[in-house]
Amino acid sequence: MIKVQENISVKAYNSFGINAVAKFFSKFNSIDELAELLEFDQRPTSNEKRKTLILGGGSNILFTKDYNGLILKNEIKGIREIKEDEHHVYVQVGAGENWHQFVLHCIKKGWAGVENLSLIPGNVGASPMQNIGAYGVEIKEVFYSLEAFHIKDKKIINFSLNDCEFGYRESVFKRKFKDQFVITSVTYRLNKAPKFNISYGALEQEMEKMGVKDLSLQALSQAVINIRSSKLPNPAEIGNAGSFFKNPEIENSKFEILKDKFPAIVGYNLPNGNTKLAAGWLIEQAGWKGYRKGDAGCHEKQALVLVNYGNAKGSEIYLLSEEILQSIKEKFGVVLEREVNVK
């Protein structure tokens, strides 16, 4: 019988280090255990809706209050090659595997495609949910399929690339199927021969600094690790969830107007004819970089990262994000969106 604990602190299970309390908490290592736990009777009162939250690595969540329901931590593990063809190897990975450790495993095996995504915090199950991306690469480029447990129908459903409807930090699991499925495994289609993506100037500069003569998966991964480590705080030292806000997308005409007013504004042309703005630049220009109130703050090296310097409440970090949103709207007429899941 699986043990369900009561009134458990989730401080160790979220990268912000927020000391929220779950009314009920348990871990699952298999689909059978998950199915059993989803049957757990939370004994709700007549006016209280039964709630269940599935937690992965806890690197993309902000608890603003105690969780008056059941938190289930996904610990389904395993990495196995399921098939290969001339150019690819197909690898099925348990959703509870640590993402960065999986990337390092791929590099060791010579499987290419995820090296640009080194050091992204969190677990494998979140990679398709978020369509994680960094340094010119997104998960959808190596994604093949996933298996997810339908909470209501209690059965496993297979999702293809098209089924997931990937967008910028988006998928069906964040929109129309939100809270309806638990991702149990993800299958990636990785390249046997590397197709290096060093389109980001910072990567070339870092590899020059490293003295890299021959480009390799290891060298590219290490360059990404070096850059991320220099810009982003380690959650083990300062609580954070990485980028707190998404980079906003605006129409080109609006970008031209902003450029007249702010000549140094950073923007990237998109295939759909719009422009993606650098949210970090906007936040920095509005004066938030390095801001601190109590233990809640905006990181001194990267304005996109909100941090917990020790004992900040989730509600304090949320209020700070509200102030930032408001100031960006007032200064630039741009509406930022949170990337972090607020609970």
Active-site option among 243, 316, 321, 338: 243
Instruction: Tell me if residue 169 is catalytic.
Output: yes
Active-site option among 115, 138, 141, 339: 339
Burial 308-338 (b: 16+ CB within 10 A, else e): bbeebbbebbbebbeebbebbeeebebebeb
- Taking phi first (over 0 means left), then psi (-120 to 50 degrees means alpha), and beta for anything else, what does residue 294 get? left
Determine contact, residues 134/120, Cβ cutoff 8 Å.
Answer: yes
d(CA 247, CA 288) in angstroms, rounded, equals 16
Active-site option among 59, 141, 169, 206: 169
Helix axes 201-210, 217-231, angle to 10 degrees: 110
Q: Which residues in the chain belong to E strands, given as ranges?
A: 5-9, 21-28, 52-55, 61-62, 67-74, 79-84, 88-94, 133-134, 137-138, 143-150, 155-160, 181-191, 239-243, 249-251, 267-269, 274-277, 292-293, 296-298, 305-308, 341-342
Beta pairing partners, 217: none
What is the SS3 assignment for 258?
helix
Determine contact, residues 326/287, Cβ cutoff 8 Å.
Answer: no
**Token pair of 325 as six digits:** 């949103």
What is the SS3 assignment for 333?
coil
Instruction: Tell me if residue 243 is catalytic.
Output: yes
Q: What is the DSSP letter of 153?
A: T
* Residues designated as active site: 169, 243, 339
